[in-house]
Amino acid sequence: MNSSLYSSLRTYNRRNEPDLYKPRTENIGPIGIPHEAVFEDQVGKFDWRQQYVGKTLFAHFESNTQSSKKMFVATDKNIFASFNSRTGDLLWRHVDKTGPEGSIDILLLHGQDALMVVGDGRLLRSWDTNIGGLNWEAVLDTGSFQAACFVAIQDTVKLVAVLKKAAISLHYLSNGHQKWVENLPDSDAVQYQAVYSGGEEEVYVLGVVPNSHLTIIAYSLEDGEIIKQISRRVLMCVDPATLALYTLPIQAEETPEFSQILLQVLYLSPTATTVSFSEPVLDGNRYVCN
């Protein structure tokens, strides 16, 4: 594929020749990683192509029905748009301010709600995906944006958590009102990078102290109180051959053992990581990642 793929939206023809145009997965390469590829004569053929929207930063398909035809994209041109995924027809489009003030930091989709953080954490917006109308807009506290996630209570998504460099805030999905905001401890030394909610009564924040340790903080959904804080020295290695992340507690009292986490569970791929390692091996009394 050429570079124009990244500045336009394409869907490849699988209707007229379903067998020929079905991507195939093969175990190829020296490390046996599954690859998806197309035949040479498929290159450049597509059902439709949309230009003038910019390079896609985030993309979601509507998933509430099996017959869904909508897709939603946010681009580097500060454009948020919806397309018919089968025909390429533009359903609606919003163009924000040019430059960093209108840049889209993240796009989250839940049901008919599309959540965006804009301008390096300046605004939190909710859009109605059916008509492209703005549900609400909330001004966030100052601070560099890091991450955001939906938060479920009893299996129902009712909140959204926004992580900044030095603070975390919780907002109601219905109107954007802030439920609480809390400063992150030791934010001058800890690089907070991720926020997660698994449907319990807590929301978790992950921070990293470079060349030292990880910090995990659990906040109460009710009032933002810190429930527990864990600091651990952990060795992490990515193995592209098994598509897994290996972790090893360095300060364990007993003989430490590696734990394996599949990258698919973390919604990651080997190409998304900044470093790659081979599978860790025991060298004498040391674990080594080559």
pLDDT (tens digit, 9 = 90+) per residue, 218-276? Answer: 999 999 999 988 776 766 777 777 778 787 776 556 666 778 887 766 555 555 433 33
Can you tell me whether residue 41 is helix, strand or coil?
Answer: helix
Into how many domains does the chain fold? 2
Residue 282 Cα to chain centre, angstroms: 33
Report whether pLDDT(20) > 50. no
Q: Give the domain range for residue 91.
A: 3-233
Distance CA 233, CA 130 (A): 47
Question: Is the separation of the CB atoms in 151 and 197 below 8 Å?
Answer: yes
pTM exceeding 0.75: no
Report whether pLDDT(12) > 60. no
| Residues 247 and 128 placed together within one structural domain of the fold | no
Distance CA 47, CA 69 (A): 14
| Closest by Cα among 145, 169, 58, 56 to 108 | 58
**What is the token pair recorded at 43?**
């290159």
Distance CA 21, CA 17 (A): 6
| Residues 42 and 174 placed together within one structural domain of the fold | yes
Query: What Å distances lie between residue 178 and 92, 132, 169, 237, CA to CA?
Result: 29, 23, 7, 38
Distance CA 272, CA 149 (A): 19
| Residues 138 and 160 placed together within one structural domain of the fold | yes
| Residues 279 and 208 placed together within one structural domain of the fold | no
- The last residue of one of the domains, among 186, 215, 233, is 233
| Residues 115 and 238 placed together within one structural domain of the fold | no
pLDDT digits (tens, 9 = 90+) for 117-142: 999 999 999 999 999 999 999 999 98
Distance CA 173, CA 126 (A): 8
